[in-house]
Amino acid sequence: MRPLLEKVRPADGASWAWLDRRLDDAIPFQWHHHPEFELTLTLNSVGQRFVGDHIGDYADGDLVLVGPNLPHTWASRDKLSAGAPHEAKVMWFHPDWVRGLAALLAEMRPVADLLARAGRGLAFSAGAAQRARAPIAALFARAPGDRLAMLIDILRLLAEDRDAVALASPAAALPMAGADRTRIDRVLDHIHTHYAEGLSIAELADIAALSPSGLHRLFAREVGSSVSDYVTRLRIGEACALLSSGARPIAHVASDVGYDSLANFNRQFRALKQMTPRQYRQRFEPTR
Give the pLDDT confidence score for residue 122 in this predicted structure. Answer: 97
| pLDDT top residue among 46 and 180 | 46
Decide: residue 169, CB within 10 A, 0-12 exposed, 13-18 middle, 19+ buried: middle
The CA distance from 228 to 29, in Å, is 20
pLDDT over 90 for what percent of the chain? 46
pLDDT at 114 over 60: yes
- Model pTM score: 0.66
pLDDT for 72 equals: 86
* pLDDT of res. 178: 61
- 207-258 residue pLDDT tens: 999 999 999 988 887 776 788 988 898 888 778 878 876 788 999 999 999 9
Q: Looking at the predicted structure, is the pLDDT value of residue 179 above 90?
A: no
Task: Say how far apart CA 112 and CA 117 lie, in whole Å.
Answer: 9
Superfamily of domain covering 4-171: Jelly Rolls (2.60.120.10)
Domains 4-171 and 176-282 share a fold: no
Q: What is the pLDDT of residue 218?
A: 86
For domain 176-282, say whether CATH 2.50.20.10 is its number: no
Q: Where do the domains of the chain lie?
A: 4-171, 176-282
Integer Cα distance of 97 and 112 in angstroms: 10
Q: What would the mean pLDDT of 68-83 be, rounded to a whole number?
A: 85
- State the DSSP string of 45-60: -EEEEEETTEEEEE-T
Kindly state the average pLDDT of the residues 53-59: 86
